[in-house]
Structure 1
Amino acid sequence: MNPLVEKLREIIKIKGPITFKDFMQMALYYPGLGYYTSPGEKIGPRGDFYTSSDVHPLFGTMLARQFYQMWEYLGKPQSWALVEWGAGKGLLALHILEALGTSFPLAWTGLHYYIIEASPEMIKKQKELLTSFPQEKLSWVNNLSEAGDNGHIKGIIFGNELVDAFPVHRVRQTNSGLKEIYVNWDEGRLVEVEGELSTPLLEEYFQTFGIKLVPGQTAEVNLAAREWLREVATKLEQGFVLLIDYGMESPELYHPSRMEGTLRCYRQHRLNNNPLNNVGQQDITAHVDFSALTHWGREAGLLPVGYTTQMDFLLNLGILEAIPRSKPEYVFDAKATHTVMAVKKLLLPEGMGRVFKVLAFAKGVRKPDLLGFVKRKN
């Protein structure tokens, strides 16, 4: 038997059915056995899924441009922190650091880059990839309390495809009210069962955002994102939060056309919707509710200062102008062609352009006009 499934069976035998949130937490993060904590390639062509940083370095270059402007809004501090939460293989960190070091030397001088990463395997890959940068510029920390000046952060906290990996509750609307989906053990396998809500916050969530599920509709609720934003708001003394993820606002996310919710599993670049199979051996994810993130951020003391699609964000930052041109232009250039194709994947609606959104918050900064959210003039 799968050792992680055996662990789950033991826990369920003692405690009874567990929430899907607790199951997902174990499936992704159980020490040594969870998807993100076990050995093996997860991201990229030999893994299970792609991220934007796998597509082309220009993604990180554009983020560096935005971070530089944020640094200017902070008053060009001589010492500042850039905190990446969930850095994957470290590719995005590599591209951001290269761009800051090459194009923005004034900001680079006082920069300290922190990585918060739950996966020991990913930390190993990140350290191998980032060896060329000065040791004093980089730190791996367990939480925000270890970053910045004794946990007081002046700078930027950001995550690319971070929130979608937080464990979610799953609920289903029934004729007798909202029920929660639990994971149980029955006849030698993991199964889903319905039960009463494990927390009143689930009912409150739908009331807050004016959402009424139709009978039979299943949905996900990411309450962990609320706690995360509260922690971030507490530790961020002055600066910005930038989140890039796939998702939408509440009315679209919980529309009746999504009767089965948005929970997805990825294994070897194949999509399925059964999280109880291949436990610990496949990624589990759900679309992000950006209405909830905006509301919870404001509730925690963060000021929303930008929300747009990844396509518009990158266009506003000048990604098209950053594509290298062949010289002379009528001569075929394989590198330039590859870049154009990669940028299309980042931008086009049928690729990552529209399903991915970008949300920014500020704290202790006058309301800024951030480049990524201001339409460029032709």
Structure 2
Amino acid sequence: MSVQGNRELIRSIVERIRNHPLGAISFREFMELCLYDEHHGYYRSDRLKIGKGGDFYTSASVGTVMGGILASYIASQWPRLKAATGGLSLVEFGGGSGRLAAQVMDALQERFDTVYKSASLTMVETSPFHRALQCESLAGHASKVEWMSEEEWLACGKSEGSLVFANELLDAFPVHVLEGGEGGVPLEVYVEWDEEESRFAERLLPLTDTAVAQALAEDGVILERGQRVEISLDAPAWVQRVASRLQLGTMLLIDYGDTASRLYASHRARGTLLAYRRHEATERWYDDIGEQDLTAHVNFTACERAARRGGAGSVELLPQREFLMRCGVLELLQNTYDPNPFSPAAKRNRAVRQLLLDDGFGELFKVMIVCK
């Protein structure tokens, strides 16, 4: 095989393709296998994914500012949420190394002791590798932390006094990839195996998935010929599931993406799908199978619809920069003449500026707040 990546995973995907009646699988199925195959998927592997030694950074990688800001927001929500139970249930989905959750708990303990004493933390995580990293990061708060799968958490029934947060989770759900055909008729991208070249290749087939067609219609998407877009059914479905589970609570979802009208505008001719490996973003998503991240921007319009279907009373979408400002991030800046660029104050000032001034973090990233 000339394609690079995890050999066992490549063989498994090729076998899936060969056994399919079409001799091809949808890109969504291909992406799900690359990321979540139980034995060899990218997110199931024992490799670092976030930070300098990984493939990408998140806002939690930029100092401890984001964790401190989330702690401030949590404290502001505490009077509303704790009234029902006297306690506060924090829940993080897809917590990776546990760095963000640890930052949140550290800041609550340091600055909002009453809230901290009332709080418990559930990490919803199925990867044994990530659970181990989270356990290490959260060792200082071990008595307050438990781990569950999503199925276990959903099975607990309606929840009062919960604040659910997820940082860069929605962009990791697999997506359908569509391309406008003759007259803008939507075609779906399928993945086949080129026996002669020993590589994966694309095939365009008529769109037959009624759920995808309905999502297009709800967003009013009319494709130009050759225009590509990504449609995620899994991310909105997850939002609806979690919102439905809450009785009195808040969801705080942080990710890069936009509204449907902006995300599917005709000038985005090639969509937003990217592969990330060793901090390089490429469109080579058929390389390094199982060893690189695959991601697409989040359609927050679809996620808002899903939240309301799950019973949300209010949904607000903010640029991350505005959310940070609203939560008092400027108060973290310090006037300092310390010549040491590695002093705590200097590091925090740099982190604040990066989160506010870097267009990638400040504008591309959004914060969706769902209240119920």
TM-score normalised by L of structure 2: 0.92
* CA positional deviation for 1:3: 1.3
- 319, 339, 343: which is aligned to 2:348? 339
Q: Does the CA-based 8 Å contact 2:65-2:351 persist in structure 1? A: no
Q: Does the CA-based 8 Å contact 2:42-2:291 persist in structure 1? A: yes
The residue number in structure 1 matching 2:167 is 160
The residue number in structure 2 matching 1:285 is 295
The residue number in structure 1 matching 2:94 is 86
Q: Does the CA-based 8 Å contact 1:144-1:232 persist in structure 2? A: no
The residue number in structure 1 matching 2:53 is 46
Amino acid at match of 2:121: Y
Q: Greater CA deviation, 100-109 or 26-35?
A: 100-109
What's the CA shift string for 1:18-69, capped at 9, x where partnerless? 1111111110111231111112111100110000001111110100111111
The residue number in structure 1 matching 2:10 is 5
- Structure 1 residue ranges, 4+ long, deviating more than 4 angstroms after superposition: none
1:107/1:205 Cα in 2 relative to 1: closer, same or farther (>3 Å)? same
The residue number in structure 2 matching 1:201 is 211
The residue number in structure 2 matching 1:172 is 179
Q: Does the CA-based 8 Å contact 1:144-1:235 persist in structure 2? A: no
The residue number in structure 1 matching 2:153 is 146
Secondary structure at the counterpart of residue 133 of structure 1: helix
1:362/1:350 Cα in 2 relative to 1: closer, same or farther (>3 Å)? closer
* CA positional deviation for 1:116: 1.1
Q: Does the CA-based 8 Å contact 2:176-2:232 persist in structure 1? A: yes
Amino acid at match of 1:360: I
Aligned counterparts of 1:323 and 1:92: Cα–Cα separation in 2 = 20
Amino acid at match of 1:93: A
Aligned counterparts of 1:196 and 1:275: Cα–Cα separation in 2 = 22
Secondary structure at the counterpart of residue 220 of structure 1: strand
Identity of aligned residues (%): 35
The residue number in structure 1 matching 2:362 is 353
Amino acid at match of 2:16: I
* CA positional deviation for 1:300: 2.2
**Between Structure 1 and Structure 2, how many residues are aligned?**
358
The residue number in structure 1 matching 2:259 is 249
Structure with higher helix content: 2
Q: Does the CA-based 8 Å contact 2:332-2:348 persist in structure 1? A: no
TM-score normalised by L of structure 1: 0.91
Is 1:309 the equivalent of 2:319? yes
* CA positional deviation for 1:87: 0.2
The residue number in structure 1 matching 2:134 is 126
What's the CA shift string for 1:279-305, capped at 9, x where partnerless? 100000000111111122112211334
In structure 1, the gaps of 5 or more residues are 364-378
What is the RMSD of the two structures over their aligned residues, measured on CA atoms?
Answer: 1.7
* CA positional deviation for 1:267: 0.4
* CA positional deviation for 1:192: 1.1
1:99/1:190 Cα in 2 relative to 1: closer, same or farther (>3 Å)? same
Q: Greater CA deviation, 317-326 or 243-252?
A: 317-326
Aligned counterparts of 1:37 and 1:131: Cα–Cα separation in 2 = 23
Q: Does the CA-based 8 Å contact 2:67-2:104 persist in structure 1? A: yes
